[in-house]
Structure 1
Amino acid sequence: MPHSTDPIPEADLRPVHEQRSFASLRSIGALILREMSTTNGRSANGYLWAVAEPAGGIILLTIIFSLGFRSPPIGTNFAIFYATGLVPFMFYMALAAKVAASIQYSKSLLAYPAVTFMDALLARLVFNTVTQILVSYIVFAGVYFTMETRTDPQIVEIALSLSMAFVIAAGIGVMNCFLFEAFPWWRFAWSILTRPLFLASCIFFIFDDIPEPFQDYLWFNPLVHVIGQMRKAFYPSYMGDYVSPVYVFGVGLALTAFGLALLVRYHRDLLNS
């Protein structure tokens, strides 16, 4: 029998992992575009509104609380003090919530072999991280350039705080992505359990002013470290010796690894449930 002399397509000569990488990148890009179009409208203005809405909300809250509180625990301007607490807190809350809903949001598309749960997680993680970074920049720039804040923001230190918020949000989000699908009641329980976070994350006060033994308990809240690091970034005189990036990164990465292990093991069961 004669052998075929037809050339093998170049695409078939690529390693399987390389082809899979390109497929994943295309899937992630498509999921990002889908989220932009479905969540924020089908135009650039829709995405601009997605950034402006949370930024405007944070700025409005900052102004309102600034009228009631004249003397912050550190510095002379309550607006920037409050913003340094609220911005990283909202960064974490928004990102963790979006990542936790990744499978639910893209469940209909995950039935196709070309789209995996990792694609859905990464798409939401990338899209919402970029959005929250833009929100953070708008809020800080708005307060810093319109008020006398007497602060000295350090870009590297700000980046460290947002990186800490990113890692802990990713860990909580990935873990809840499994738990929300495996145990529907956990969504309501989590909502109740996290309501005190707004008060327990040192947004209105500093960790140093908390009396014992409550200080020891609050230290285990990763958001206390995230917000403390942000305040160190704006107030060079603020020591913040309690801040431990190692602790935050360790908790976040451990939760991410554990959550991913559970999703790898049970994602098919979750999709079929």
Structure 2
Amino acid sequence: MTALSRPGLSVLYSTWNALFLRETVNRLSAGRAAWVWLLVEPMVHVFFMLAMFTLVRVTAVGGIDVTVWLTIGMLSFFLFRRTANQCANAIGANRALFTYRQVKPVDTVLVRAASEGFLMLLVISLAVVILALLDHRVAPADPLELMGALLGLWLVGLGYGLMASVAVELIPELGKILSMIMMPLYLMSGVMVQIGAIPEPYRSWLALNPLVHGLEAARLAFAPYYHTISTLSLAYLYGWALVLVFLGLALHVRFANRLVSQ
């Protein structure tokens, strides 16, 4: 059966499946021991911050073991950041594939997001196993809330990536500006600081950041007694995610032809 006579959904599934395998293999073999760096990078951040907390003799944050608190926060933020960054660069990295009619720019972004989410889920699972072997209590008290928080962060990363992928193709100079945004987000999302301990009105200002709600919900899923912000809301996180994904898809529809011929 030729591609012209196959059902549309069958062609789409085959395209996404091939792109997913290609993206995952490329991600794991991009450099020497690239698969090791997927785990090492966030753990280096955790060890560095843990050393700083140890120097000031902090063993718990908001009632949670500081090692678990840092690890969950770091990995949750990396889920968002890696998804966003990989999606933002998807079109340029796969431009040669647009000679095939079945492959659209939006396909490469969506599949990259799925690939990155899959790999980060493996990284998070492996990190939790390592912490358990080091005798830390890392069994989530509410697995559904944890999955909800991680899914929300992934969707926000996808929405950001959909919009950024169009922006950097139409205006390449925006790529540098968008890459600079990640550092302020890292500092203002509660990765290194307990948002619930920050005095008002700054706490309310920081709580406007949807990533704060994702990170805090992930930590709360591991420890129901964790002292978090009173306005914590996964609905707020998902509201941002849906708006960003909608705007990203709308941009891809609007500039579909320009993205192919750019």
Give the TM-score normalised by the residue count of structure 1: 0.85
Q: Distance in 1 between matches of 2:138 and 2:129?
A: 14
| Aligned pairs for 1:64-213 within 5 A | 64-70=48-54, 71=58, 72-75=60-63, 77-149=65-137, 152-213=140-201
Q: Secondary structure at the match of 1:196?
A: helix
Q: Distance in 2 between matches of 1:151 and 1:41?
A: 31
1:4 corresponds to: none
Q: Distance in 1 between matches of 2:24 and 2:218?
A: 29
The alpha-carbon deviation at position 67 of structure 1 amounts to: 3.0
1:52 corresponds to: 36
The alpha-carbon deviation at position 69 of structure 1 amounts to: 1.2
Q: Which amino acid aligns with 1:159?
A: M
The alpha-carbon deviation at position 134 of structure 1 amounts to: 0.5
Calculate the aligned-residue CA RMSD, in Å: 2.5
Gapped regions of structure 2 (runs ≥ 5): none
The alpha-carbon deviation at position 135 of structure 1 amounts to: 0.7
Matched, 1:268 2:257: yes
1:226 corresponds to: 214
Q: Which amino acid aligns with 1:252?
A: A
The alpha-carbon deviation at position 214 of structure 1 amounts to: 1.5
Q: Distance in 1 between matches of 2:135 and 2:190?
A: 23
Gapped regions of structure 1 (runs ≥ 5): 1-10
Give the 3 Å change call, closer, same or farther, for CA 21–118 of structure 1 in structure 2. Answer: farther
Matched, 1:38 2:37: no
Q: Tell me if structure 2 keeps the 8 A contact 1:84–1:230.
A: yes
Give the 3 Å change call, closer, same or farther, for CA 56–147 of structure 1 in structure 2. Answer: farther
Q: Tell me if structure 1 keeps the 8 A contact 2:109–2:161.
A: no
The alpha-carbon deviation at position 202 of structure 1 amounts to: 0.7
Q: Tell me if structure 2 keeps the 8 A contact 1:151–1:235.
A: no
The alpha-carbon deviation at position 119 of structure 1 amounts to: 2.3
Give the TM-score normalised by the residue count of structure 2: 0.88
Q: Which amino acid aligns with 1:64?
A: F
1:8 corresponds to: none
Give the 3 Å change call, closer, same or farther, for CA 37–207 of structure 1 in structure 2. Answer: closer
Listed one character per residue, the Cα deviations across residues 215-261 of structure 1 (whole Å, up to 9, x for unaligned) are: 12111111111111011011111253322111111111111111111
Q: Secondary structure at the match of 1:139?
A: helix
Q: Distance in 1 between matches of 2:17 and 2:34?
A: 18
Q: Distance in 1 between matches of 2:225 and 2:25?
A: 45
Q: Tell me if structure 2 keeps the 8 A contact 1:172–1:256.
A: yes
Q: Which moved more, 1:60-69 or 1:100-109?
A: 60-69
Q: Distance in 1 between matches of 2:140 and 2:246?
A: 36
Q: Distance in 1 between matches of 2:144 and 2:165?
A: 31
1:256 corresponds to: 245
The alpha-carbon deviation at position 81 of structure 1 amounts to: 1.1
The alpha-carbon deviation at position 130 of structure 1 amounts to: 0.5
Q: Which amino acid aligns with 1:245?
A: L
Q: Secondary structure at the match of 1:211?
A: coil
Q: Which moved more, 1:152-161 or 1:174-183?
A: 152-161
Number of residue pairs aligned between Structure 1 and Structure 2: 257
Which of these two proteins has the greater Rg computed from alpha carbons? 1
Q: Distance in 1 between matches of 2:45 and 2:182?
A: 20
Q: Secondary structure at the match of 2:95?
A: coil
Q: Tell me if structure 1 keeps the 8 A contact 2:131–2:138.
A: no
Q: Distance in 1 between matches of 2:102 and 2:64?
A: 55
Matched, 1:243 2:227: no
The alpha-carbon deviation at position 100 of structure 1 amounts to: 1.5
Identity, in percent, stands at: 24
